[in-house]
Structure 1
Amino acid sequence: MQTMDSITTAPGGALASPAAARNREPILQVLKAHLPARGRVLEIAAGSGEHAVAFASALPGLEWTPSDPSAEARTSIAAWAGVAGLPNLRPPLALDMLDEASWPKGPFNAVVCINMIHISPWAATEGLMKLAGRVLPVGGLLATYGPYLEAEVPLAPSNAAFDGSLRARNPDWGLRDRDEVAAAAKAEGLALTRRVGMPANNLMLLFRRVTA
């Protein structure tokens, strides 16, 4: 599982992420304001699964399907889901943004992607936009969360240091330019409709599919 977080392992393979514990409530408040009351949500790069459980619990009208290419992550998601016993939380999918053969057909009303874009090669972001353009109906939501580079906003020292640590670990990783992400989305029929400032110099970028 790709992460820069300090992960701990509980019995049964459940992973605990301090970052997930810190950011789930701020992210949930944005999702509550913009997700439909009912429908199907696909979560990309769900990691430990703690977000999936928290969001499925708080949004019972939504069928939540987590996914991750990592077998370790999927084990953790299944472990947390087993404890929670939520009827609207589906089993995790082995979905890889670099492998179109692993993508579900949909449709989904929303796609959620938290902390993947900067911890993956640029091709994964392009894949995310292509998948969203494929599985979302017109008006469907793609919600992303993480740190970004913005030409008009000075880069926070903490984000500059984080970007450096990411690139030192893998030269294909690093903070992405918000406008380049928006351009990749536009190429797949998605428009950036809202930028939401989040704690610790993170952003949520909300995209809507605007063309069939």
Structure 2
Amino acid sequence: MEKPRSPACQRNREPILDVLREQFADRRHVLEIGSGTGEHAVHFAAALPQLTWQSSDRRENLPGIRAWLDDARLPNTPAPLEFDVGGHWPAGSFDALFSANTLHIMCWDEVRQLFARLPTILASDAVVVIYGPFNYDGRYSSQSNAAFDVWLKERGERMAIRDAEAVDALASQAGLQLVADIAMPANNRCRVWHRRG
């Protein structure tokens, strides 16, 4: 099959990689939630060979991810796992978790479920990195994010840029402590939590 492609991935992968080099320096087993096309998985796994990069997504996206993994033939990218926040979760324990541009696609109830169930798959010292746009104090951080939020809601009422404080509250309930909030290009952020052992 022809490999799916994401222009956003091409633009953001290097700035994200800079963050992951630091945050995942001592990590070994990463679960990526919402791998999408699979491009991030291949790029990050190639650049961070000490990591086993476990991609995952809903069933309909797995063929495209497999196409990228099969083409790259990297030794640290096992077959992608089916993952649905409200349904099937993978077994195992991961000392790192990464997700890009997912929280604003999921409905808020799914975001709550995600954080509530994270402790079941995270090691006691896990590091969590989530990339995407966030609002602060109920306000958009830029005009472009405000326009993006309108575009999201036109696609579906359940979609929206999430408030950082609300997400932090869910993370805290899951035993995660915010340790970094890193500005990224195009008014995105990389927010980093550590699990409290």
* TM-score under structure 2 length normalisation: 0.95
* Aligned 8 A contact 1:140 1:209 in 2: yes
- The corresponding residue for 1:3 is none
- CA spacing shift, 1:153–1:198, aligned 2, 3 Å: farther
More strand by share: 2
What is the CA–CA distance in structure 2 between the aligned matches of 1:187 and 1:168, rounded to whole Å? Answer: 31
SS at match of 2:125: coil
Q: How far off its partner does 1:210 sit?
A: 0.8
- CA spacing shift, 1:153–1:169, aligned 2, 3 Å: closer
What is the CA–CA distance in structure 2 between the aligned matches of 1:131 and 1:84, rounded to whole Å? Answer: 31
* Aligned 8 A contact 1:103 1:131 in 2: no
- Pair 1:64-2:50 in alignment: no
Aligned partner of 1:26: which letter?
P
Aligned partner of 2:133: which letter?
P
What is the CA–CA distance in structure 2 between the aligned matches of 1:58 and 1:81, rounded to whole Å? Answer: 14
- The corresponding residue for 1:113 is 99
* Pairs aligned (count): 197
Q: Choose 36-45 or 76-85, whichever is displaced more.
A: 36-45
What is the CA–CA distance in structure 2 between the aligned matches of 1:112 and 1:154, rounded to whole Å? Answer: 23
* TM-score under structure 1 length normalisation: 0.89
- The corresponding residue for 2:163 is 177
* Aligned 8 A contact 1:98 1:124 in 2: yes
- The corresponding residue for 2:68 is 80
* Aligned 8 A contact 1:119 1:173 in 2: yes
Alignment of 1:55-204 (within 5 A): 55-71=44-60, 73-99=61-87, 102-151=88-137, 155-204=141-190
- CA spacing shift, 1:127–1:36, aligned 2, 3 Å: farther
What is the CA–CA distance in structure 1 between the aligned matches of 2:116 and 2:63, rounded to whole Å? Answer: 27
Q: How far off its partner does 1:134 sit?
A: 1.8
Q: How far off its partner does 1:152 sit?
A: 8.4
What is the CA–CA distance in structure 2 between the aligned matches of 1:192 and 1:32, rounded to whole Å? Answer: 18
Residue ranges of structure 2 left out of the alignment (5+ in a row): none
- The corresponding residue for 1:8 is none
Aligned partner of 1:59: which letter?
L
* Aligned 8 A contact 1:40 1:62 in 2: yes
What RMSD, in angstroms, separates the aligned Cα atoms of the two structures? 1.4
What is the CA–CA distance in structure 1 between the aligned matches of 2:173 and 2:26, rounded to whole Å? Answer: 28
SS at match of 2:123: coil
Q: How far off its partner does 1:176 sit?
A: 0.4
What is the CA–CA distance in structure 2 between the aligned matches of 1:92 and 1:152, rounded to whole Å? Answer: 36
Residue ranges of structure 1 left out of the alignment (5+ in a row): 1-11
- CA spacing shift, 1:74–1:34, aligned 2, 3 Å: same
- The corresponding residue for 2:33 is 44
SS at match of 1:109: strand
Q: How far off its partner does 1:153 sit?
A: 6.8
